[in-house]
């Protein structure tokens, strides 16, 4: 293919060779300050996918044999398997076990081009995606940018109560949990030790349940013999849920079962309590007129999510509606009203089932929607109609700790050891690359036999200011 010059390429600062220019041009990438259209470089249909998570990656892979050029843009160079983030946060797995480089995953897919960059917006009328100093042209746009943590307008809580969404969140939480034990070992004031060994998880959905269960296992088993001055088993773990039961989206009998399993691990489960304030060393909760303040230095947030701001950016340009969580309301074929060339999938999409209920923000929904988006593109290229998206329910599961989980497979609902084995099996299979499956399988087997969690590293800022107390004095 002939090299297509990009005007203004020097502004990108890459000193592009003809080959690179040609590759970029054929993907419709050009600098933000002008530059010629690359439309003539190749006639095949350009599909731009924003987000290399479950939805975006499945869309890209399902387009492998299609006569299209795929550009997958992500601000991270890796795919993250979010369902196992809590295991990184509690030292059971390392970040590399649950991540895979996007370039590696797509290395054999010759029609795929991976671009590392932050998407800041869209120019829908010109059919362009804005990526830092560049614009990327598309004929079909698939947006799968996922969610962020939501503190419901209390953004100040974030620094005291990190959420679990990224690898950095997971290693920060790991630092806080392990750091609290380390600080407690150095203290002599029993009140302060008690506060340091109090862990509060906010939100009793699957993430909160899994996190609370794993923190309890760290305290009761993993660290049991590691300290001399403190007994890690004396740690107090509280799980706070605003609804009247944990796992509110699961059948009630499974919620009851999950609560019992958590209580068997020594976790105090409080339902019907709302958080009213989070400070550096305390969390205040409220139930009706009753208020209580829990002195703690480790508060973990698993209570709320909000759609990526790219949903808002798309809504402004297309007139599409957003729901209360900022997710974009899509048509039955996942496109936006008046914009059949824009498909929104995964957690960012508000898509309803046959009963008019929004589909849950879970990986199987995102994966099926990614595959559907690819089929939609292929059908259109053949000028064929394509039926609306239908989610095939595959069940939902949450694990509570070693050998305990709950599984809702529709007609079949069960908990305990077999639910846990099924959970292990499903999650192993869902990991994207064989290498990850092998690493996680070996690690899990070792952890099960030894009760060890070998990724108990405290990384990042361990200066005295990064943790709330040192030598009995508050750091202001």
Out of 74, 97, 128, 187, the only residue in the binding site for ligand FAD (CB under 6 A) is: 74
Return the number of the residue (23 or 116) whose C-beta is nearest ligand FAD: 116
What is the DSSP secondary structure assignment for residue 168, as one 8-state letter?
H
CA-to-CA distance for 350 and 300, rounded, in angstroms? 27
The one catalytic residue in 139, 187, 195, 210 is: 210
Q: What are the structure tokens assigned to 411, written together?
A: 């007609």
76 binds ligand FAD (CB under 6 A): yes
326 binds ligand FAD (CB under 6 A): no
Out of 10, 18, 118, 459, the only residue in the binding site for ligand FAD (CB under 6 A) is: 118
CA-to-CA distance for 12 and 6, rounded, in angstroms? 10
CA-to-CA distance for 430 and 442, rounded, in angstroms? 16
91 binds ligand FAD (CB under 6 A): no
Out of 70, 106, 178, 310, the only residue in the binding site for ligand FAD (CB under 6 A) is: 310
308 binds ligand FAD (CB under 6 A): yes
Site for ligand FAD in 171-210 (CB under 6 A): 206-207
Minimum distance between the CB of residue 102 and ligand FAD, rounded to whole angstroms? 8
Site for ligand FAD in 139-178 (CB under 6 A): 144-146, 164-165
Minimum distance between the CB of residue 166 and ligand FAD, rounded to whole angstroms? 8
476 is a catalytic site residue: no
Site for ligand FAD in 219-278 (CB under 6 A): none
28, 49, 71, 271 from 46: Cα distances, Å: 8, 10, 8, 50
Could you please report the per-residue DSSP string of 284-349? EEEETTEEEEEE-SEEEE-S-EEE-HHHHHHHHHH---B-TTSPEE--TTSEETTEEEEEE-GGGE
CA-to-CA distance for 453 and 433, rounded, in angstroms? 22
Return the number of the residue (41 or 373) whose C-beta is nearest ligand FAD: 373
Q: Could you tell me how many residues of this chain bind ligand FAD (CB under 6 A)?
A: 34
Out of 85, 328, 343, 359, the only residue in the binding site for ligand FAD (CB under 6 A) is: 85
User: Residue for token digits 């703690």?
Assistant: 296
Instruction: Name 239's bridge partners.
Output: 201, 269
Site for ligand FAD in 355-394 (CB under 6 A): 361-364, 366
Q: Judge whether 353 and 342 are in contact, CB under 8 Å.
A: no
Out of 25, 38, 54, 275, the only residue in the binding site for ligand FAD (CB under 6 A) is: 54
Residues 6 or more apart whose CB falls under 8 angstroms from that of 436 comprise: 81, 97, 98, 99, 100
Out of 347, 378, 389, 406, the only residue in the binding site for ligand FAD (CB under 6 A) is: 347
Q: List active site positions.
A: 210
């Amino acid at each position: 293919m002939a090299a297509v010059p990009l005007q203004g390429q020097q502004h990108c600062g890459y000193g592009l060779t003809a080959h690179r220019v040609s590759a970029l041009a054929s993907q419709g990438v050009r600098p933000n300050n002008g530059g010629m259209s690359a439309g003539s470089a190749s006639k095949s249909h350009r599909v731009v996918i924003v987000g290399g998570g479950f939805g975006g990656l499945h869309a890209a892979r399902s387009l492998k044999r299609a006569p299209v050029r795929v550009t997958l843009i992500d601000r991270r160079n890796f795919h993250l398997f979010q369902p196992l983030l809590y295991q990184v946060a509690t030292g059971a797995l390392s970040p590399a076990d649950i991540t895979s480089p996007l370039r590696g995953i797509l290395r054999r897919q010759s029609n795929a081009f991976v671009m590392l960059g932050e998407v800041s917006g869209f120019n829908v009328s010109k059919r362009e995606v804005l990526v830092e100093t560049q614009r990327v042209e598309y004929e079909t746009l698939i947006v799968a940018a996922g969610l962020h943590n939501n503190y419901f307008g209390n953004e100040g809580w974030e620094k005291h109560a990190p959420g679990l969404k990224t690898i950095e969140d997971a290693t920060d939480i790991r630092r806080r949990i392990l750091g609290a034990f380390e600080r407690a070992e150095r203290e002599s004031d029993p009140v302060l030790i008690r506060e340091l060994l109090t862990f509060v998880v906010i939100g009793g959905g699957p993430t909160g349940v899994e996190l609370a269960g794993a923190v309890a296992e760290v305290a009761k088993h993993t660290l049991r013999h590691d300290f001399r001055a403190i007994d890690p088993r004396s740690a107090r773990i509280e799980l706070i849920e605003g609804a009247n039961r944990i796992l509110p989206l699961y059948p009630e009998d499974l919620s009851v079962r999950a609560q019992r399993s958590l209580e068997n691990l020594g976790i105090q489960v409080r339902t019907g309590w709302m958080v009213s304030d989070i400070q550096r060393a305390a969390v205040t909760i409220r139930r009706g007129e009753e208020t209580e303040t829990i002195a703690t230095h480790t508060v973990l947030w698993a209570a709320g999510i909000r759609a990526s701001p790219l949903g808002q950016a798309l809504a402004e340009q297309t007139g599409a509606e957003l729901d209360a969580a900022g997710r974009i309301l899509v048509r039955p074929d996942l496109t936006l009203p008046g914009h059949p060339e824009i498909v929104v999938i995964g957690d960012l999409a508000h898509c309803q089932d046959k009963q008019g209920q929004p589909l849950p923000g879970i990986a199987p929904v995102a994966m099926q929607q990614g595959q559907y988006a690819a089929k939609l593109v292929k059908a259109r290229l053949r000028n064929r109609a394509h039926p609306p998206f239908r989610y095939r329910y595959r069940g939902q599961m949450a694990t509570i700790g070693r050998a305990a989980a709950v599984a809702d497979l529709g007609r079949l609902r069960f908990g305990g050891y077999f639910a846990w084995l099924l959970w292990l099996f499903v999650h192993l299979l869902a990991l994207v690359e064989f290498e990850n499956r092998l690493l996680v399988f070996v690690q899990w087997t070792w952890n099960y036999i030894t009760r060890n969690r070998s990724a108990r590293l405290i990384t990042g800022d361990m200066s005295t200011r990064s943790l709330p107390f040192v030598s009995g004095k508050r750091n202001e």
